[in-house]
Structure 1
Amino acid sequence: MNAIRYPDGNVLLRNLSREFPVVTHGEGVYLYDAQGRRYLDGSAGALVASVGHGNREVADRIHAQLLQVAYVNGTHFTTEVTEALAARLCAHAPAGLRRAAFLGSGSEAIEAAVKFARQLCVERGQPQRTRVITRVPGYHGNTLYALSMSGRPHYQTFFGPLLSEVVTTPAPYPYRCGLEDYARDGAAHYARLLEETLQRVGPDTVAAFVAEPVIGSSAGAAVPPPGYFEQVSAICRRHGILVIADEVMCGCGRTGRFFASDQVGLTPDLLVLGKGLSGGYAPLSAVLVREDHLEELRQGSGGFMHAQTYLQAPCMTAAGVAVLDYYERHDLVAHAARVGAHLQRRLREVLLPLPHVGSVQGVGLMAGVELVEDKATKRPFPRTRKVVEGLLAELFSRGLVLWPNTGHADGTNGDLLMVGPPLIITEPQVDELVDLLARGLTRFLERS
């Protein structure tokens, strides 16, 4: 069997009109299907597989924990492995973040972080703080409130009546910012827009500001201008608004620092991790909170009013500990910074001269490539042409897997590719990735 096509199989697949190869195994940065075809996983799945596929060191550690105890109810027990993961993360986290809770996905962790912020406001006698501010473009998850916070207007088509009202402000996006000098003027520009938004809705009605330190697929690994987070954090502190750093995609070494917040000058009140934290070997996410905020809850209601079935489950946290051990043994964050610099340089050298490549941006092993119909005006391709979907199919046929996004340019149009391979990738494998991408892109655009 080389593929399953709905309704031939029983799995409810994400796309009902394409065939899905059956993966049999993975090794390092490569995946292999039932027909023996090899794929370079240039996006680590959805920027998840941080320590690569088929990592026996990690798998053996998880297996050992499963034999010891796989599950306990997080409202009744804790375990050594869960305590160890919390201690490891908090020891290196941005200043003040000294407690961690563990859940099963980034969406769950984001929702928990927002609930924590809301509960803290109530404990402080500020029940009027019911709003959350997020940025457009941006993405924070697929559960209903997390989706509400995600700056992707096309989701309104299907789910609009189910989504909650959130307040949005523009996200820093160098290619489409319209500024003469993004690095020089960007921080003040976007901070002013945030302040204007707060004054419009009333800053005393806002509980939290949620932002990705380096924006994920919604803006193609957009890096904020210098000083941006210092300025917006100061605004939030002045108005009593909590800052939540969403590092689900950009955290865990992806940018060349374990915490992306450290790289961009952000000291958040809450921080959320996921994806690379477990490397895909188990569902796992984390919410890190400040000790002083936890003390406010202890003095009030007595604790954080949140629990889920797999809260603190050792089958998950064992994956996190195993991945962190692998990071340390192989100095993986430093490796990601070094090889990431090579990736960024090669992508720019090879892709920017090509027709229809509008921008290449990013940091570390996280990059975005924006395709445009007209480079002079930055005009995007019409969405009806489905350019990025066609390109992905071309690349897939050549054995390269990347991650797409659409709609960032104006809410409807816009074609982006995300490059984010496993952190174990080598420089020769980066060259292979860039070569496959360039040849596939050139061939696809010649035919289009």
Structure 2
Amino acid sequence: MTTTPIDTSAATFDSEKLSAAAREHLWMHFTRMSAYQDAPVPTIVRGEGARIFDSFGRSYIDGLSGLFVVQVGHGRQELAEAAYRQASELAFFPLWSYAHPQAIELADRLADLAPGDLNKVFFTTGGGEAVETAWKAAKQYFKLVGKPMKHKVISRSIAYHGTPQGALSITGIPDAKKWFEPLVPGAHKAANTNFYRAPEHGDDIEAFGRWAADDIGRAIEMEGPDTVAAVFVEPVQNSGGCFPPPPGYFQRLREICDRHDVLLVSDEVICAFGRLGTTFACDKFGYVPDIITCAKGMTSGYSPIGAAIVSDRVAEPFYSGSDYFPHGYTFGGHPVSAAVAMANLDIFDREGLNQHVLQNEPAFRATLDKLRDLPIVGDVRGDGYFYGIELVKDKTTKETFDDDESERLLRGFLSKALFEAGLYCRADDRGDPVVQLAPPLIVGQSEFDEIEQILRSVLTEAWSRL
């Protein structure tokens, strides 16, 4: 598939000056800043299609779509032009008691694309804010319908749901939370769907899926159904390395939530907008949640936006009498971002990107599955254009690396080696060590092969070093 690139070829960069300024003034996110005390800061200056370019002019395949974001690829002129046109007409106006056409049109389009009666769209500026919004909406909803004790949330172990205090409480990664406690109370954890390390029913994926869903039911019952407001789950869990749902998992989870009058929140910040081959990932797995949280791919990253898409049933009490939702963000539903989102969705429709992912996901999986012959590769899992490769010390026993080995493997070698070999992706140890891949949705077999060849070379060297 082709893109129309933005011409930045004339731009020149003083790499040493940029790196020095970055070390002195730019506090990067989730980054060990000490790592660049005596090393240059990798600086990406341009993107075109599925490739990115650094300040030295070196090219890399973007195997992570930035951060699970750039669905339509880099350098789309029409998205830049959509932002320019909107900024020239109405650069900003808030959604606090007023509307603007771009937010109205985008909300209408998202409601039409969402399943069931999910027809109310509350805009944010990103995914963590969308999760925060969903929890607050769930708590207030139950107060408005006369069940004020229902305020707790159940989410899954190792799951990542964002960095705001509420979203971080829902997150299931201890190391992400330990410095910021005490967090918002009421967030509790249950089993995830990592079948590779299933503690129960490791020989029967459907039985394991039922057990994992029932574990969420057990957590609800343990806390008391009259105190639990919502269950937050990703369609394919990102953190830990792309855990897909077993067959029947979400149908069972929907039954559990309905039985206990608990809202089911589908956190699709990563999985929505084509990552799995459907606009909303819940459609792929056949369930209708009460709230969808989304962001990233809505604009393919060309401008920030997020949303909580809420069912009519949950929104109804907020639309009655003097009741309202005392919550919002200055830049939520920003006119420029909304205009870019509309243009981005136009590209999806015109180029059939969802269909492209569905048609090519078997080839992507088959190409990555070739890596299973390497002694360091324990599992390859995921869905659509979203995969994790779990690394192990022993394939037979599934023995993982200890903390020191993981530190030397991931941060000491893999991340840098993969980048230097021409692949930008994620080597992650939030859970067992994995390499994560989520390329732009425009890629095909040639990019799959390039990714596999780079991974094969670098993982082979990693094993020899071990």
* Contact persistence 1:182–1:225 (CA under 8 A): no
User: AA paired with 1:194?
Assistant: I
1:302 CA drift (Å): 2.8
Deviations 1:36-73 (A, max 9, x none): 10011101111111111111121111111111111101
Specify the alignment match of 2:26 in structure 1: 11
Residue 389 of structure 2 corresponds to residue 374 of structure 1: no
Specify the alignment match of 2:454 in structure 1: 436
2:228 pairs, out of 206, 212, 228, with: 206
2:123 pairs, out of 102, 109, 113, with: 102
Residue 9 of structure 2 corresponds to residue 2 of structure 1: no
1:206 CA drift (Å): 0.3
Deviations 1:326-369 (A, max 9, x none): 111111111122222211110012x1110111100011100001
User: Which of 6-15 and 26-35 deviates more?
Assistant: 6-15
1:90 CA drift (Å): 1.1
Separation of aligned partners in 2, 1:111 and 1:404: 27
Secondary structure at 1:60 match in 2? helix
Specify the alignment match of 1:411 in structure 2: none
User: AA paired with 2:203?
Assistant: D
Specify the alignment match of 1:157 in structure 2: 178
Specify the alignment match of 1:303 in structure 2: 324
Deviations 1:77-112 (A, max 9, x none): 212221111111111211110111211110000000
Separation of aligned partners in 2, 1:192 and 1:73: 43
User: AA paired with 1:134?
Assistant: S
Separation of aligned partners in 1, 2:21 and 2:270: 30
Secondary structure at 2:362 match in 1? helix
* Contact persistence 2:363–2:445 (CA under 8 A): yes
User: AA paired with 1:197?
Assistant: A
1:358 pairs, out of 363, 371, 378, with: 378
| Aligned positions of 1:294-333 closer than 5 A | 294-299=315-320, 301-333=322-354
Separation of aligned partners in 2, 1:122 and 1:137: 30
* Contact persistence 1:227–1:265 (CA under 8 A): no
Separation of aligned partners in 2, 1:159 and 1:293: 31
| Aligned positions of 1:16-415 closer than 5 A | 16=33, 17-18=35-36, 19-162=40-183, 164-178=185-199, 179-216=201-238, 218-299=239-320, 301-349=322-370, 351-385=371-405, 386=407, 387-389=409-411, 390-408=413-431, 414-415=432-433
Question: Which residues of structure 2 form unaligned runs of 5+?
Answer: 1-13
1:98/1:440 Cα in 2 relative to 1: closer, same or farther (>3 Å)?
same
* Contact persistence 1:341–1:363 (CA under 8 A): no
* Contact persistence 2:305–2:334 (CA under 8 A): no
Specify the alignment match of 2:11 in structure 1: none
Separation of aligned partners in 2, 1:46 and 1:8: 22
Deviations 1:262-284 (A, max 9, x none): 11122100001111111110111
Separation of aligned partners in 2, 1:12 and 1:210: 30
Secondary structure at 1:159 match in 2? coil
User: AA paired with 1:206?
Assistant: V
1:163 CA drift (Å): 5.0
1:6 CA drift (Å): 7.4
* Contact persistence 1:46–1:403 (CA under 8 A): no
* Contact persistence 2:111–2:119 (CA under 8 A): yes
Separation of aligned partners in 1, 2:101 and 2:355: 28
Structure 1 runs (4+) greater than 6 angstroms displaced: none
Separation of aligned partners in 2, 1:165 and 1:235: 19
Separation of aligned partners in 1, 2:22 and 2:279: 42
Q: How many equivalent pairs are there?
A: 441
1:156 CA drift (Å): 3.7
User: Which of 194-203 and 223-232 deviates more?
Assistant: 194-203
Separation of aligned partners in 1, 2:145 and 2:211: 32
* Contact persistence 1:174–1:182 (CA under 8 A): no
User: AA paired with 2:151?
Assistant: T
Secondary structure at 2:25 match in 1? coil
1:294 CA drift (Å): 1.7
* Contact persistence 1:6–1:12 (CA under 8 A): no
Separation of aligned partners in 2, 1:33 and 1:194: 45
Secondary structure at 1:24 match in 2? strand
User: AA paired with 1:74?
Assistant: L
User: Which of 93-102 and 299-308 deviates more?
Assistant: 299-308
* Contact persistence 1:43–1:421 (CA under 8 A): yes
1:424/1:54 Cα in 2 relative to 1: closer, same or farther (>3 Å)?
same
Separation of aligned partners in 1, 2:204 and 2:67: 28
1:300/1:170 Cα in 2 relative to 1: closer, same or farther (>3 Å)?
farther
1:201 CA drift (Å): 1.1
1:251 CA drift (Å): 1.1
User: AA paired with 1:374?
Assistant: D
Deviations 1:210-229 (A, max 9, x none): 0001111x132211111111
Secondary structure at 2:196 match in 1? helix
* Length-normalised TM-score, structure 1: 0.95
